[in-house]
């Protein structure tokens, strides 16, 4: 199978260059194509890609996409790709030499439509004492995905966009990425992978976690601060509220949605039960700080920032309830 590696980027030419240098050492890259989608950058991204393309072992192409938004860039990459399988990664990742081979083995062995693998952190500074890699909330912020040594089918957790390989036919059945979601410029809007994976499941597609499909995510010092974590979770709340507005899914556990939120009591556009969770999280945060558990306290605090983002976005949405429940909104092939 031929791979098309698709890398969206925005104003990070230096990091992108190191990513492409790492990618050049991946086995079978000479039989693949790499497409860098410049999402309206104002730095020397085009020059960097042009220079590296002269010595890159496979085909390296530059494509410009002026519509801001990571999903828009990904969709442009798909339109430009000629491969049988699209391998998605980011401009701040590094790769095991067998990355593409492991992806191909997983797709063939499991006969599935898409696969995702491990994303391990490359620390740019010492890990702070309050940051716990045992916390799923903290792992989300640093892009850390390690679900163990055995393959399993994705369900409650979606594949991570920095390490994902999808057969071309899957997008024909489930539709493209939704640009109402996903990072734009310097914002931390997200949830495009989750929404697509939910839509893929609705289209009866199957995706599996492949533990030997490994990439590394560079975590720079500026992301290892409490300020960044608070900002990330605030935007995480905004992103989940956008998902809620458009598709009527549970903001805390979208894949486990069982309620019809058009019938759930709301206060200022937020489901009433979330205010109870807010009060419990306030108490849990205070208790953890009181007993000197800084990591546990900060973990509870993250939910409070998530809730703040939810409230902000629901106010911007004028507090309207979602138009219809998830089972009606997540229709394959409409995006």
Burial class (CB in 10 A: 0-12, 13-18, 19+), 93: buried
Note the pLDDT of residue 323: 56
Whether 69 has a pLDDT exceeding 80, the answer reads yes
Q: How far apart are CA 186 and CA 68, in angstroms?
A: 11
Query: How wide is the angle at C-alpha 156 spanned by C-alphas 155 and 160, nearest 5°?
Result: 85
Q: How many CB atoms lie within 10 A of CB 215?
A: 26
User: Can you tell me the mean pLDDT for 107-116?
Assistant: 95
In DSSP notation, 269-313 reads TEETHHHHHHHHHHHHHHHHHHTT-HHHHHHHHHHHHHHHHHHHH
- Residue-wise pLDDT for 32-45, tens only, equals 999 999 999 999 99
Whether 289 has a pLDDT exceeding 50, the answer reads yes
User: Can you tell me the mean pLDDT for 293-309?
Assistant: 90
- What is the distance of C-alpha 28 from the center of its chain? 25
Model confidence band, residue 305 (pLDDT cutoffs 50, 70, 90) = very high
**Distant-in-sequence, close-in-space partners of 279: CB < 8 Å, separation ≥ 6:** none
* Contact criterion met (CB below 8 Å) for 28 and 2: no
Taking CA atoms, 97 is separated from 29, 33, 148, 189, 212, in Å, by 9, 16, 20, 31, 11
Note the pLDDT of residue 122: 94
User: Can you tell me the mean pLDDT for 76-89?
Assistant: 96
Note the pLDDT of residue 104: 96
Ranges 111-115, 157-161, 199-203, 301-305: which has the least confidence = 157-161
Whether 292 has a pLDDT exceeding 90, the answer reads no
Where are the chain's structural domains? 3-223, 228-329
Token look-up 């899914």 returns 249
Ranges 1-15, 170-184, 321-335: which has the least confidence = 321-335
Note the pLDDT of residue 231: 94
Top pLDDT among 110 and 187 is at 110
Top pLDDT among 158 and 123 is at 123
Angle between helices 192-202 and 70-80 (to 10 degrees): 60
Note the pLDDT of residue 334: 44
Q: How many CB atoms lie within 10 A of CB 256?
A: 11
Note the pLDDT of residue 83: 95
Q: How far apart are CA 322 and CA 242, in angstroms?
A: 10
Whether 320 has a pLDDT exceeding 70, the answer reads no
DSSP state at residue 222: G
- Residue-wise pLDDT for 237-264, tens only, equals 999 998 898 888 889 888 788 888 888 9
Whether 146 has a pLDDT exceeding 50, the answer reads yes
Fold of 3-223: Spore Coat Polysaccharide Biosynthesis Protein SpsA; Chain A (3.90.550)
Note the pLDDT of residue 319: 63
* Contact criterion met (CB below 8 Å) for 63 and 77: yes
Model confidence band, residue 326 (pLDDT cutoffs 50, 70, 90) = very low
Tokens found for residue 58: 């496979």
Taking CA atoms, 70 is separated from 4, 172, 193, 246, 292, in Å, by 17, 19, 11, 18, 40
Whether 324 has a pLDDT exceeding 60, the answer reads no
Whether 236 has a pLDDT exceeding 60, the answer reads yes
- Helix, strand, coil percent content, the chain, rounded in steps of 5: 45, 20, 40
Q: How many CB atoms lie within 10 A of CB 21?
A: 12
Model confidence band, residue 321 (pLDDT cutoffs 50, 70, 90) = low
Whether 164 has a pLDDT exceeding 70, the answer reads yes
User: Can you tell me the mean pLDDT for 167-191?
Assistant: 84
User: In the structure, how many helices (H) and strands (E) does the chain have?
Assistant: 11, 11
What does the CA dihedral 300, 301, 307, 309 come to, rounded to 10 degrees? -140
Average pLDDT over the chain, rounded to whole? 89
Note the pLDDT of residue 133: 79
Note the pLDDT of residue 329: 45
Burial class (CB in 10 A: 0-12, 13-18, 19+), 203: middle
Q: How far apart are CA 249 and CA 175, in angstroms?
A: 19
Q: How far apart are CA 74 and CA 67, in angstroms?
A: 11
User: Can you tell me the mean pLDDT for 123-146?
Assistant: 86
The radius of gyration computed from the CA coordinates of the chain, to the nearest angstrom, equals 20
Note the pLDDT of residue 168: 96
* Contact criterion met (CB below 8 Å) for 257 and 156: no
């Amino acid at each position: 199978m031929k791979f098309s590696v698709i890398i969206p980027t925005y104003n990070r030419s230096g990091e992108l260059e190191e990513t492409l240098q790492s990618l050049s050492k991946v086995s079978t890259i000479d039989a693949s194509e790499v497409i860098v989608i410049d999402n309206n950058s104002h730095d020397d991204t085009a020059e960097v890609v042009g220079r590296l393309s002269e010595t890159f072992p496979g085909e390296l192409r530059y494509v410009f996409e002026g519509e801001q938004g990571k999903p828009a860039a990904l969709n442009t990459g798909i339109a430009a790709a000629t491969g049988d399988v699209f391998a998605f990664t980011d401009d701040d990742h590094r790769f095991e030499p067998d990355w593409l081979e492991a992806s191909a083995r997983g797709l063939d062995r499991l006969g599935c439509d898409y696969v995702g693998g491990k994303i391990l952190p490359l620390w740019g500074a010492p890990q702070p004492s309050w940051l716990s890699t045992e916390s799923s909330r903290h792992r989300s912020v640093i892009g850390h995905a390690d679900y163990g040594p055995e393959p399993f089918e994705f369900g409650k957790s979606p594949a991570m966009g920095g390490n994902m390989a999808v057969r071309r036919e899957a997008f024909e059945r489930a539709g493209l990425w939704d640009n109402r979601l996903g990072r734009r410029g310097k914002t931390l809007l997200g949830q495009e992978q989750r929404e697509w994976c939910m839509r893929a499941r609705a289209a009866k597609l199957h995706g599996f976690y492949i533990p030997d499909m490994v990439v590394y995510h560079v975590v720079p010092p500026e992301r290892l601060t409490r300020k960044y974590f608070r900002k990330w979770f605030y935007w995480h709340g905004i992103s989940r509220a956008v998902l809620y507005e458009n598709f009527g899914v549970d903001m805390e556990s979208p894949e486990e949605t069982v309620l019809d939120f058009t019938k759930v009591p709301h206060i200022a556009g937020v489901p009433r039960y979330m205010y109870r969770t807010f009060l419990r999280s306030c108490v849990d945060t205070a208790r953890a700080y009181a007993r000197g558990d800084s990591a546990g306290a900060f973990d509870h605090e993250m939910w409070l920032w998530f809730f703040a983002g939810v409230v902000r976005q629901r106010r911007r949405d004028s507090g309207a309830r979602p138009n219809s429940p998830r089972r009606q909104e997540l229709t394959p092939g409409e995006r």
